[in-house]
């Protein structure tokens, strides 16, 4: 891993958000300035600046104490690819996480998977990004078992999420709630929830955590019923009835992801309650 020093990486700050947005938009990704700022506030974004100081490559680490951290935003501008920049920036993240005693976890695109496997990342489970469009407010989609989330629910929601995800990320759930409170729902008995947030291209629904697939579908119907326009969601591949519901609503599969961790294949938390993940950038 000695070659990482030669990359001249710097830790980016919120003054770099516009440059980071240019990089993620170039690849067609959905993140917003709020997302990038959140990585900078709660984690670290490594960037490779060009001569003007604009990042031409990035990778973010977001610690989720106590066991692991998320790696995301692994991006290399198109004209600089296949020069091992992606590999070396990833190595920098892994060295930093090893130093902090945290396992590196990520959701890999097929291109990213080719970079991560040789570094020792192992598959945990597959995900699929679904995309579609919804027409807007359909109150009839709200079943008797679900209700709108309120700010008072966030603490309990964070506990449900922590049991399923494997780490408490209340700061993230609070941020999503503030960005789209009208798309946040809980089950009446408070054992499941869904959150969503606006993206650059589409509303991203997730995370959606539930005790069973029927509750998950009720929460999903509630969020889809209140969303408007293009929607993305990243669903664990095991949930066939959820996929069928999306097909009925004319959603299509956009791309696969593979959840991977460095030197580890056992998932954290409880994947049996994880229906829609927050997204590859947040886990």
Ligand X SMILES: CC(C)(COP(=O)(O)OP(=O)(O)OC[C@H]1O[C@@H](n2cnc3c(N)ncnc32)[C@H](O)[C@@H]1OP(=O)(O)O)[C@@H](O)C(=O)NCCC(=O)NCCS
Binding site for ligand X (CB under 6 A): 27, 74-76, 81-87, 108-109, 111-112, 114-115
CB of 276 to ligand X, least distance (A): 18
CB of 267 to ligand X, least distance (A): 18
CB of 60 to ligand X, least distance (A): 11
CB of 18 to ligand X, least distance (A): 19
Position of minimal CB gap to ligand X: 86
The three state secondary structure string of the chain is: CHHHHHHCCEECCHHHHHHHHHHHHHCCCCCCHHHHHHHHHHCEEEEEECCCCCEEEEEEEEEECCCEEEEEEEEECHHHCCCCHHHHHHHHHHHHHHHHCCEEEEEECHHHHHHHHHHCEEEEEEEEEEEEEEECCCHHHCCCCEEECCHHHHHHHHHHHHHHHCCCCHHHHHHHHHHCHHHCEEECCCCCEEEEECCCCCEEEEEEECCCHHHHHHHHHHHHHHCEEEEEEEEECCCHHHHHHHHHCCCEEEEEEEEEEECECCCCCCHHHEEECCCCCCC
Residue (209 or 258) nearer to ligand X, CB: 258
Residue (112 or 279) nearer to ligand X, CB: 112
Residue (29 or 185) nearer to ligand X, CB: 29
Residue (177 or 282) nearer to ligand X, CB: 282
CB of 260 to ligand X, least distance (A): 9
Residue (24 or 274) nearer to ligand X, CB: 24
């Amino acid at each position: 891993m000695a070659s990482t020093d030669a990359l001249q990486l710097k830790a980016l700050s919120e003054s770099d958000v516009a440059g980071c947005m240019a990089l993620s938009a170039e690849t067609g990704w959905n993140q917003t300035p709020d997302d990038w700022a959140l990585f900078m506030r709660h984690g670290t974004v490594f960037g490779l600046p060009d001569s003007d100081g604009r990042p031409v490559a990035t990778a973010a680490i977001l610690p989720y104490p106590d066991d692991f951290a998320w790696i995301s935003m692994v991006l290399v501008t198109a004209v600089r690819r296949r020069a091992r920049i992606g590999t070396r920036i990833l190595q920098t993240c892994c060295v930093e996480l090893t130093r902090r005693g945290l396992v590196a976890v990520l959701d890999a695109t097929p291109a990213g998977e080719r970079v991560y496997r040789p570094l020792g990342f192992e598959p945990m489970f597959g995900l699929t990004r679904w995309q579609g469009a919804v027409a807007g407010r359909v109150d009839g989609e709200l079943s008797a078992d679900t209700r709108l989330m309120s700010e008072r629910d966030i603490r309990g929601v964070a506990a449900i999420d922590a049991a399923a995800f494997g780490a408490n990320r209340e700061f993230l759930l609070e941020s999503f709630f503030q960005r789209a409170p009208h798309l946040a729902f809980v089950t009446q008995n408070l054992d499941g929830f869904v959150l969503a947030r606006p993206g650059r291209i589409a509303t991203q629904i997730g995370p959606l955590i539930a005790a069973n697939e029927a509750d998950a579908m009720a929460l999903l119907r509630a969020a889809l019923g209140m969303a408007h326009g293009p929607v993305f969601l990243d669903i664990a591949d095991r949930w066939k009835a959820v996929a069928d519901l999306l097909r009925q609503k004319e959603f299509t599969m956009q791309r696969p992801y593979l959840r991977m961790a460095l030197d580890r294949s056992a998932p954290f938390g409880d994947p049996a309650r994880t229906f829609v993940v927050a997204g590859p950038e947040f886990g």
